Amino acid sequence: MKRKISEHKIKSIEPGSIAQELELEPGDVLLTVNGEPVEDIFDYHYLINEEYLELVVRKADGEEWELEIEKEYEDDLGITFENSLMDEYRSCRNKCIFCFIDQMPKGMRDTLYFKDDDSRLSFLQGNYVTLTNMSDHDIDRIIRYHLEPINISFQTMNPKLRCRMLNNRFAGDVFPKIDRLFEAGIEMNGQIVLCKGINDGEELERSIRELGKYIPHLKSVSVVPVGLTKFREGLYPLEPFTKEDAQRVLKQIERWQDYFWTKYGTHLVHAGDEWYILAEQDMPEAESYDGYLQLENGVGMVRLLQEEVQEYLDGLKGDDGERRLSIATGQLAYPYIKQLIGKVQEKYPNLMAYVYEIRNDFFGERITVAGLITGQDLKAQLAGKELGECLLLPCNMLRSGENVFLDDVTVEELEKTLQIPIRIVESSGQSFVENVIRQYK
C-alpha cells in the first residue's frame, strides 16, 4: 500500500540556521525529504541526518520549492513544526488499575486528562510507554532508525497479570516486541509500578528475574510504589504500602542488585526514593545508581541533590552576610531539604531559612511528592507564615514550560496572595545553593 504523503507546517525557524539561509519561513509546508514522505518526527530526524538533502517545500503562495542542501552529517536544519510529533498524538488504550489520571478530580484543564502512550514521546521526552498501541511497523522503524533509549512500562513479566493490571486483553502480547528490540540492540529502560498484593512479592521476583535476560541492552528498571489519591471512588481497590512492606521490597531489590552487580557489573533494578523514606532507611550511596538513569521516576533524586550540593559548597568560601528566605516542598523531600540547609549554614552562619512541609490536601495526604503540590495548597498553608525576603519553590511544582501549578494557579497569583517574591529553583544542587545564598535585598 502506498504511504500517504503527510504535510508538515513550519512553526518557526532558528536564527542563523540552515533553514534561514534557505529562506524558509513560518507557514511553509515540508512535503518530502530525499523524495521520501515524512510520516512523523521519527522519519524527519532520520532522513535529515544525511550530508546531502533534497527538500520539497510548499510556500504560502502555493509555489513548490525544490532545495538542495549540503551539510555536515547530523547537522540540524533549525526547523520547528507546529506539531512537535509531526503526527497525531496516540492516546492510551489501557485502563490501568493504578492510573493516576483516573484518580484526578473533575474540573481541571482538559490537557491533564489526556492519557498519552506514544512511543515517540519516549524518545523525545523520556515518557514511559506500555507498547500496547505499537504496531510491527513502529517496531520496524525503531530498529531501522536505531532510536534509543525506549522507556517501557513493564509492570509485570506475567502476561496474564499484565492483561489484568492494564485492563487490556492484548497487554500480554508485547513481549515478542521487546524481544525484537533486544535482538536489534536497542537500549531500553524499564518501570514497574508496584501495587500491593498484585505484582509484588513472588510476582516482583519473577519480573526481576526475567528482566535480567535483557541485559546488557536493558540499562535500568525502576520499582516505584503506586500513587494513591483520595479520588478513588469506583476504582480498583488498592492499598497503601506500610513501613514493613517497604522494608521487604528494599530487601528483595537489594538482593537482586547484589546478584546483577556480581554477574554483570550493573545493579539493573532500582528502588524509588519513596521506598527508603517509607522504610525509614538511608538512601544508597551514589555508586549504586549506575549513573542515575531513572531520575524522572524519583530514583536517586535525593542522593544526587545531596552530592551536588556538597560538591558546590566545597568550592565556596562562605560569608557572614544576613539572608532570610523560605522554602516550600512536599513531605517526601522536607527532611532532606532541612538537612541541606544545615549544610549551607555551616558556611553561611547568618542564613535564616524557613522550610515548610506542604501537606497535599488537594490530592490527599498519601501523595507526598513536591511535583504534585498545587497552588491552592501553597496559598492555604503558607498564609500568615514567616517567609523572609523570598520564597523558593522547586521547578517540578510547575507544569513543564509553564508558569502555572496543576490547579491553574499561576506563580504571579501566588506572589500576590502571599505578598512575597517567588523564585523557581532548578533541580540541580548548584541552583539550590545559589538561590539559597543569594542576597534578595
CATH for 315: 3.40.50
Residue 112: its pLDDT value, please? 61
Domain boundary among 257, 278, 297: 297
Do residues 188 and 219 share a domain?
Answer: yes
In a domain, 113, yes or no: yes
Do residues 343 and 207 share a domain?
Answer: no
- Sheet hosting strand 218-225, strand order edge to edge: 150-153, 188-194, 218-225, 269-271
- Give the three cell numbers for residue 269: 533494578
- Give the three cell numbers for residue 261: 552487580
In a domain, 91, yes or no: no
Find the helix packing angle between 243-264 and 202-211, rounded to 10°. 20
Query: What is the mean pLDDT for each group of 10 consecutive residues in the chain (441 residues)?
Result: 65 93 93 88 83 92 93 88 69 82 78 55 65 87 87 96 95 95 96 97 98 98 95 92 97 98 98 95 96 93 96 95 96 95 96 97 93 95 96 91 88 96 95 92 63
Task: Give the pTM.
Answer: 0.84
Range of 425's domain?
305-437
Do residues 273 and 213 share a domain?
Answer: yes
Q: In Å, how far are 42, 294, 301, 397 from 337, measured between CA atoms?
A: 40, 21, 12, 15
Do residues 243 and 135 share a domain?
Answer: yes
Residue 85: its pLDDT value, please? 64
Do residues 233 and 313 share a domain?
Answer: no
* Residue 206 burial by Cβ neighbours in a 10 Å radius (0-12, 13-18, 19+): middle
Q: Tell me the sheet residues that pair with 36.
A: 33
What domain count does the chain have? Answer: 3
In a domain, 362, yes or no: yes
Residue 114: its pLDDT value, please? 54
Task: Name the one residue in this structure whose C-alpha cell is 474540573.
Answer: 107
